[in-house]
Amino acid sequence: MPATQQSAVPTYKETANIQTKQVDWNTFDDRSTPGAALARLLNAVPQAAQKQGEIANKPQSQAEQEQLASLASMGAEKDRLRLAKGDSVFGLLTGKEGTMDAYEINRGRRDADLAAGALRDAYAQSGLADSDDPKAFAKFVQDQQKSIFGKLQGSDQSYYHGYVTRIGGVFEEMTKSHAGNLDQFITSKNKMALQTRMDSRVAVEMATNKERGAFGAFMDNISGGEGAGNYNAFHNHAGNQRVRFTDMTVGEVLDWQRRGDWRHMGAGSSAVGKYQFIESTLRDTVRASGMSLDTKFTPAVQDQLIFNRLVQTRGMKDYLDDKISAEQFLDSGLAKEFASLKKTNGRGEYDGDGLNKGGVSARKTLAALIEFKQAYLQDPAKVIKADSKGGISLGTINDDADNDESADAEFGVDTPTARSARADSIIRHLEANPQEAERDDIEDYMAAKKLPQADRERVLQTRDKLRNESQQRADMDEQKATQEIVDLADKAVRGRDTEALAKLRTKNYDVYQKLLDLQTKPVDTESLDNDGFLKTANYGNPRFGQDALKAYVGGQIDQETYAQAMDQYTVQAQAQPILSMPAVKPSIDKMKLMLPGDENKTIFDAQMAVAIDDLMKANDGKRPSLQEIQAAAQQVQQHILALHAQEAQVRTGRPEYANIGNQ
């Protein structure tokens, strides 16, 4: 008896994961087909009828339910909804639900599998993968199903059943796949919208530099005489940005003060930051505040520390609670904390100590105090915060700031994603505006927005990279400007170029005036050290020109020595590229290594530079050959060795040497 026909068709990705619909057929009918004739011949009709009756009484299996669901989901015509039940006999089935042919069913399945590829191509060409419009996909499905039913119109019942049940699964999988893609696409769109909105927020917040609250405004009004509003200031260095205290921890700042680094930088005291905390004051305030030494010394932290100190030791809370007047608070509290404030008697608390002098009038301070108190009375909770233990701390405008916690409702993304997007926006803002990397409040801004540590680190890496690049550019610009001044001064001194001297007047008036003074008032020769300068001159130093000019302008050497040194420097600078060539340097270094003492090696370098200069002049400015250079080096080496031997012979010929063996 022939076995039931099986479908052998290509597998597409749309159908690869679809469970094969297993259908068993009870096959027999009265048609004039080979299968029907054979069934009658073998008297299989009674057996088939009995089998069909047994099957009809069984409940629907899972596979049968899936068939019906697939037909229904495709919108198959009700009069063509047939359930294939039973076992296969000769490929035919007859019963109350109609006649089914296993061969035609498998043929329908095969064609449906082939059509799945075309369906896949149609989906790809439709552009639905890049669309978040659910109606567009619904229309695509309806159009494809309409086309399928149009092709199936008038088809064999069994073929129809096989085709529709198979293609229905393909549509089901495509719908699931599109839904997943739609979720990703919508999420991507939401993230793009979030990023655009976040870029705008960050740009506005960073550009406008939001007010720092009532206390911040108050301190800005009275502290200009301390650190000039600069959180990186230290004593006598109000504009400092080289030492970035705002990037240090509190512990690192205290270490800097304790080591006395400020003494080496020309400061008269250890006072640092906007509020000029000296070491002992900062240490006591940090300890009283319970603050960790690992806390960054940011602007917000400096504000918090000075607020704590004013409350704990200077009577700030008493003033806010109407226990003392503004005048009393100024004279007994603020003026003792800030040397720049004048008391109501017109004098600063520390006037006359040699370091400090009051400069901010009492009228200005009292006006700022009254304004601050009015803000406090309007909304005390916005100015200061009370804790459960009765302590108070500085309130900020960021207490009620938008911390990206509404991102889920607004953009369909979670809060961590929104905060990561904010970090990305800050990075883009800094890269587009490199000067913003110099700000000292970036860490405070990120803390207010509750950015995770990992996101903060990403921003700080970008900030530090931009700062380094900016510093490198500034150093290069400074070096370029300095070299321009050196070149003009050199032309004016060695070449007596009056035009260069005139240009120097506009570039650096101090150097210009010094050169004029030296021409009209020569330096006393007794104060000069011409020989010492030439003996220790390092002509290999790229900044030798600056050193020589500084020595001349500073009265250490005369004009003749300056010109001699610069002539030698020019010769060595021109010879250096030739002496550094790979084919030249090894042999030259080997000859120099054989010379005794560093002084002889220095002489060798100087004489080799002169030799190269002479060779180039003899060759009309062309580079000398390797043989010429090596020959010149040997002559210089032999000359120095001969002089050294001669000096040794003279030294050993002295009487004191002759008596050494007799002692």
Q: For position 212, what pLDDT does the model report? A: 62
Residues 6 or more apart whose CB falls under 8 angstroms from that of 219 comprise 274, 275, 303, 306
Is residue 355's pLDDT more than 50? yes
Q: For position 505, what pLDDT does the model report? A: 93
Q: Does residue 160 sit in the same domain as residue 279?
A: no
Q: pLDDT grade, residue 177 (50/70/90)?
A: confident
Is residue 388's pLDDT more than 50? yes
SS3 578: helix
Q: pLDDT grade, residue 35 (50/70/90)?
A: very low
Q: Does residue 301 sit in the same domain as residue 221?
A: yes
Q: Does residue 274 sit in the same domain as residue 383?
A: yes
Strand partners, 341: 360
Q: pLDDT grade, residue 457 (50/70/90)?
A: very high
Strand partners, 346: none
Q: What is the mean pLDDT of residues 162-190?
A: 71
In this structure, is residue 482 part of a structural domain?
no
- The number of distinct structural domains making up the chain is 4
pLDDT in tens, 63-115: 556 655 655 555 554 444 444 443 333 333 444 444 567 778 888 888 988 88
Q: Which of 335, 368, 395 is the last residue of a domain?
A: 395
**Measured between alpha carbons, how far is 571 from 565 in angstroms, rounded to an integer?**
10
- Nearest 5°: phi and psi at 89? -135, 110
In this structure, is residue 473 part of a structural domain?
no
Q: pLDDT grade, residue 432 (50/70/90)?
A: very high
Is residue 265's pLDDT more than 80? yes
Q: Which of 463, 482, 511 is the last residue of a domain?
A: 463
The residue ranking higher by pLDDT, 49 or 416, is: 416
User: What is the dihedral angle through the alpha carbons of 58, 62, 65, 67, rounded to the nearest 10 degrees?
Assistant: -110
Q: For position 273, what pLDDT does the model report? A: 92
Is residue 54's pLDDT more than 80? no
The residue ranking higher by pLDDT, 628 or 521, is: 628
Q: Which domain holds residue 623?
A: 580-663
Element of type H or E holding 92: strand 92-93
In this structure, is residue 536 part of a structural domain?
no
Q: Report the range of poorest mean pLDDT among 14-28, 137-151, 226-240, 356-370.
A: 14-28
The residue ranking higher by pLDDT, 209 or 551, is: 551
pLDDT in tens, 467-526: 999 999 988 999 999 999 999 999 999 988 999 999 999 999 999 999 988 888 877 777
Q: Report the range of poorest mean pLDDT among 350-359, 569-578, 611-620.
A: 350-359
Q: For position 137, what pLDDT does the model report? A: 80
Q: Does residue 151 sit in the same domain as residue 45?
A: yes
Q: pLDDT grade, residue 227 (50/70/90)?
A: low
User: What is the dihedral angle through the alpha carbons of 389, 395, 398, 401, rounded to the nearest 10 degrees?
Assistant: 60
Q: For position 64, what pLDDT does the model report? A: 58
Q: Does residue 142 sit in the same domain as residue 178?
A: yes
Q: Does residue 377 sit in the same domain as residue 445?
A: no
Q: Does residue 40 sit in the same domain as residue 149?
A: yes
Q: Report the range of poorest mean pLDDT among 274-278, 353-357, 547-551.
A: 353-357
Is residue 352's pLDDT more than 90? no
Residue 184 CB-half CA count within 13 A: 8
pLDDT in tens, 536-565: 888 888 889 999 999 999 889 999 999 999
Q: pLDDT grade, residue 529 (50/70/90)?
A: confident
In this structure, is residue 179 part of a structural domain?
yes
Q: For position 82, what pLDDT does the model report? A: 45
Is residue 252's pLDDT more than 50? yes
In this structure, is residue 505 part of a structural domain?
no
Find out whether 235 and 268 touch, Cβ atoms under 8 Å. Answer: yes
Q: For position 243, what pLDDT does the model report? A: 92
In this structure, is residue 195 part of a structural domain?
no
Is residue 384's pLDDT more than 80? no
State the average pLDDT for the chain.
Answer: 79
Is residue 19's pLDDT more than 60? no
Q: pLDDT grade, residue 381 (50/70/90)?
A: confident
Q: Which long-range contacts (CB under 8 A, 24 or more apart) does 1-6 make?
A: 1/89, 1/90, 2/90, 2/91, 4/88, 4/91, 4/102, 5/91, 5/102, 5/103, 5/106, 6/106
Is residue 396's pLDDT more than 70? no
Element of type H or E holding 263: none
DSSP state, residue 14: T
In this structure, is residue 190 part of a structural domain?
no
Q: For position 411, what pLDDT does the model report? A: 61
Task: Name, of 207-211, 461-465, 614-618, the range with top average pLDDT.
Answer: 461-465
Find out whether 305 and 282 touch, Cβ atoms under 8 Å. Answer: yes
Q: Does residue 167 sit in the same domain as residue 225?
A: no
Q: For position 538, what pLDDT does the model report? A: 86
Q: What is the mean pLDDT of residues 159-182?
A: 76
Q: Does residue 296 sit in the same domain as residue 438?
A: no
pLDDT in tens, 6-15: 433 333 333 3
Q: Does residue 435 sit in the same domain as residue 387?
A: no
Q: For position 84, what pLDDT does the model report? A: 42
Is residue 408's pLDDT more than 70? no
Q: For position 466, what pLDDT does the model report? A: 95
High-pLDDT (> 90) share of the chain, %: 31
Question: DSSP secondary structure string, 240-261?
Answer: --SS-GGGSBHHHHHHHHHHTT
Q: What is the mean pLDDT of residues 616-643?
A: 90
Q: Does residue 147 sit in the same domain as residue 262?
A: no
Q: For position 325, what pLDDT does the model report? A: 94
pTM: 0.58
Q: Does residue 653 sit in the same domain as residue 633?
A: yes
Element of type H or E holding 89: none
In this structure, is residue 318 part of a structural domain?
yes
